[in-house]
Amino acid sequence: MTRVPSPRWLRRPHDDPTPRFAYGADYNPEQWPREVWPEDIRLMREAGVNIVSLAIFSWARIQPAPDTWDFGWLDEIMDLLHEGGIAVDLATATASPPPWLTTLHPEILPVTASGETVWPGARQHWRPTSPVFRTHALRLVEKMAERYGNHPALTAWHISNELGCHNIYDYSDDAARAFRTWLSDRYGSVETLNHAWGTAFWSQRYTEWDQILPPRLAASHPNPTQQLDFKRFSSDALKDYLRAERDLLYRLTPDTPVTTNFMVMGETKGMHYADWAREVDFVSNDHYTLPGPQRLDELSFSANLTGSIAGGHPWFLMEHSTSAVNWQPVNLAKREHDLSRDSLLHVAHGADAVCFFQWRQSAAGAEKYHSAMVPHAGEDSEVFRSVAALGALLGELSEVVGSTGRPARAAVLFDWESWWASEQDSHPTSLLRYRQEALDWYSAFLALGVRADVVHTGASLDGYDLVVAPVLHVVPRDLAKELTGYVEGGGHLVTTYFSGVVDENDHAWLGGYPGALRELLGIRVEEFGPLLDGRDVALDNGATGTLWTDRITVTDDAVEVLASYRTGDQAGRPAITRRPVGAGSAAYVSTRLGAEGIRGVLDRLLAGAGVTSELPGAARGRVELVVRGDGDTTYWFLVNRTDEPVELTGVTGTLLGGTAGSERRGTDGPDPAGPLVLGPRGVAVVRR
C-alpha cells in the first residue's frame, strides 16, 4: 500500500506557463524598517528568487491584542512582492502565540513529564491538544484566509511552522484527556488496553479510563507500551491540529494548496512524517546538515526518505542554510561549493523547490548568527554571490521540474515504529541508535556507488531486488507476512540485530529471537549479547563488531554462514547468516559493523541479488548518482562527494548544467561522449 499525497503543487500566481524551480526563503520583513523592503525585492530579483514564505512568526504583529488586527503592513509587503514577480507561500502565522494570549490563557502552555510549565519567551509554547489555543489559532487562520485568499501573490498556505519541533511531547491535563480519547478509539475497552499494555506487570491494572495518564515522571521505568502509545498519540495529536488548520483553509480557499514544513533530518523523530504526508497537498521539508564524516550521506538519506514519503512526487525544500546555523554546539560555516552541492542533492532526490532559512540575516534575536541569503556582510559577499549563481543554475535546469524519481533496485527500509520502540528504556542496551544504523547501511551503498532508495514501511517493495531493514524491531504479524512474501517472491532481504523481536504492542514474540522473522531467517537466538561501550569483537571476515552480538543457532540446513565471531563470548558462532529461499534470500547481521564494515558484507549480498553499480569503476564512492525522470528521458545527477575534481568516462548524454568547474571535455571542445569532469564538491546534470 503506497501512500501517495495528492500531487497538487503551487498555484501559479503569475500565469507563468514555464515550469521552473521555486527558489527563495523565509522572509521576515517585520524585523526590518520599511525602507529595507524595496531593497529586499531588488536583491531577490537579482538572485533569481521567485517565492518567499511570509508571516511565519507574525502573530503578535498581526493581532497585537485580542480584538485588534493590523494587516496594513502585510497588505503592503504582499503587494510589493507581487509587483516584483515574487510568489508568496503564506504562513497561517500560528507558530508562536503572542504574550497577550499566554498571559490571558496560561493554560495553553505545555507541561513537561516532570510537571514543569514550558514558559513563553522563545516560540512554539503551546499544547497541541489545547482547545483554547486551537480556538485562538483558528480564528487567526480564518482572518488570514479571508484577507489573502484572493491575493494574486498567494501560491500556497504554509501551516504553522515545524509542528512538533519544540512541543511534540506535552504531559498536561489537556494531553491526558486527549490521550484517553485516543486510547479508547484504539482499544475500545479498558480491558483490551490492559492486555495491550501488559498491566498484569507491577500492579498496573486499570479499571477506569480516568485512571490513565501520559507517562509522566515516575518512580522507575514507565510502562513501555504506554510510552510507545504516547509517542503514537503525540504524533497523531499534532497531525490532528494540522488537519484542523487545513480543513478550515480548504473550506475558505479551496483552490490554494496547503503544506507544512516537516523536519526529516537527524534525530528529529517524534513526528511520523510518512503518516503525515497524506494530509498535505505537497510535502515540504526542512533540512540542516550535521558536521562530521557522514554530513553529506545524512543529507542524501534525508532527501531520499523525503522523496519516499512524498510518494515519488516532487517535493518542496522549505528550509536549509546558506552557511552556518546557530543551534549546534559549534556552528561551522559552509565551505566553497557546499551551498550549491547541498541544494542540488535535494533537487536530485526530487525537490522542485529550493528555499533557505532565511532571506536576510537577523540583526537581533536568537538567530542573529544564523546564515541567510543576504548575510550581515550584505550583498557584497561570497554567500550572496553563491546564492545568485545557484538561482541562475536552477534556471538552466528548469526542464527537470516535474520529473519523478527513478526507483533504484535496492532499498533501505525505514520504520518509525521501530525507531520509537527500539530506543526505549529498560532494553538490553541504551546505546542503540536506530537511525544511525540505517544511515550506516546507506553510507555503505554510497561507498559502493550503488543507488538505494530509502523507503518507509507501508510503501511497496515491488521492484526492489534487495531490501535492507536495519533494526526492524517492531514486526506485527502482517509485516512478517509481507516480508516473507517478498523473499518467497525472489526478493533478497537483509536485517540486523534486535529485529523481529516485538509485536505492535511491544510484547516479545516467544520461542526465541528474532521472533517474527526467526523462521524466515532460519536461525534462533536464546540470549542477546550486547557489548559495553568501547568494547568490540572481531569477525573472521576482517570486520569488527560493536554494540551487540547474538548467540545464534542455525535451524535450517540451507543457511550459509557468511561470517563468524573470532573473539568475544560468541567466538566460533555465526555472526552473519544468509538463508536462500527459492530465488530470494533472507540475511541477518547480528552486530553493529559501522559503515566501513558493512561495505564488505553488502558487496557480497548485492552480488547475490545481482545488483550492480551504474557508475564507472573509478567514480564509485567518490560520486553519488541520483536519477530523475520517467519515460524516455532521464536526468543523471552526478554529485562529487570529494574535495578534488573527478573525471568520469562513459557517462554519455547532454550536459544540461552544472556547478562551476563541471564540464564536458573532448579533443576539439566539449563532446557529449567525452569525459565528464566534476569540479571539487561539484554537481553535473546530464540528460540521457
* Nearer residue to ligand GLA within complex by CB, 365 or 463: 365
146 is catalytic: no
Q: Among residues 288 and 637, whose Cβ is nearest to ligand GLA? A: 288
Q: Is 17 exposed, middle or buried (0-12, 13-18, 19+ CB in 10 A)?
A: exposed
Q: ω into residue 294 within 30 of 0, thus cis?
A: no
Stretch that binds ligand GLA, among 138-146, 160-168, 442-450, 636-644 (CB under 6 A): 160-168
Q: Give the nearest distance from C-beta 367 to ligand GLA in angstroms.
A: 6
- Catalytic, 162? Answer yes
C-alpha to C-alpha distance for 216 and 226, rounded to whole angstroms:
10
Q: Which of 286, 417, 440, 506 binds ligand GLA (CB under 6 A)?
A: 286
Q: Per CB under 6 A, does 162 bind ligand GLA?
A: yes
Residues annotated within a binding site: 123, 161, 327
What gap in Å lies between CA 13 and CA 587, rounded to an integer?
Answer: 52
Q: Which of 165, 244, 252, 660 binds ligand GLA (CB under 6 A)?
A: 165
Task: Report the residue from 170, 297, 319, 415 that binds ligand GLA according to the rule CB under 6 A.
Answer: 319
CA distance 211 to 401: 54
Q: Which has the closest alpha carbon to 233: 215, 249, 251, 259?
A: 215
Residue 283 or 581 having the CB closest to ligand GLA: 283
The one-letter amino acid code at 450 reads: V
| Catalytic position from the list 319, 417, 624, 663 | 319
How far is residue 371's CA from residue 614's CA, in Å, rounded to a whole number?
37
List residues bridging with 635 in a β-sheet. Answer: 628, 687
Q: Applying CB under 6 A, does 281 fall inside the site for ligand GLA?
A: no
Is residue 262 within the footprint of ligand GLA (CB under 6 A)? no
Query: Rounded to the nearest whole angstrom, what is the least distance from the CB of residue 268 to ligand GLA in the complex?
Result: 6
Q: Is 210 left (phi over 0), alpha (psi -120 to 50) or beta?
A: alpha
Query: Taking the complex as a whole, how short is the minimal distance between the CB of residue 165 and ligand GLA, in angstroms?
Result: 5
For the chain, what is the total number of helices (H) and then of strands (E)?
17, 27
* Number of residues engaging ligand GLA in binding (CB under 6 A): 13
Note whether 370 binds ligand GLA by CB under 6 A. yes
Can you tell me which residue has the cell 541504551? 430
Residues in binding site for substrate: 123, 161, 327
Q: Which of 21, 133, 148, 288 binds ligand GLA (CB under 6 A)?
A: 288
Q: What are the beta bridge partners of residue 636? A: 627, 686
Is-contact 512 518, C-beta < 8 A? yes
Figure out which of the listed residues 92, 155, 161, 591 binds ligand GLA, where binding follows CB under 6 A: 161
Asked if 245 interacts with ligand GLA (CB under 6 A), we say no
- Distances, alpha carbon 118 to alpha carbons 110, 114, 121, 227, 392, in Å: 5, 11, 9, 21, 44
Nearest approach in angstroms of CB 142 to ligand GLA is 23
Q: How far is the CB of 537 from ligand GLA (least distance, A)?
A: 26
Residue 146 burial by Cβ neighbours in a 10 Å radius (0-12, 13-18, 19+): exposed
Helix (H, G, I), strand (E, B) or coil at 435: helix
- Closest residue to ligand GLA in the complex (CB): 327
> How far from chain centre, in Å, is Cα 510?
34
**Least Cβ distance, residue 545 to ligand GLA (angstroms):** 27
Q: Which is nearer to ligand GLA, 162 or 417 (CB)?
A: 162
According to the binding rule CB under 6 A, does residue 325 interact with ligand GLA? yes
Nearer to ligand GLA, 25 or 448 (CB): 25
Query: Do residues 198 and 225 touch, judged by C-beta distance below 8 A?
Result: yes
Active site residues: 162, 319
Residues in contact with ligand GLA by the rule CB under 6 A: 161-162, 165, 266, 268, 286, 288, 319, 325, 327, 357, 367, 370
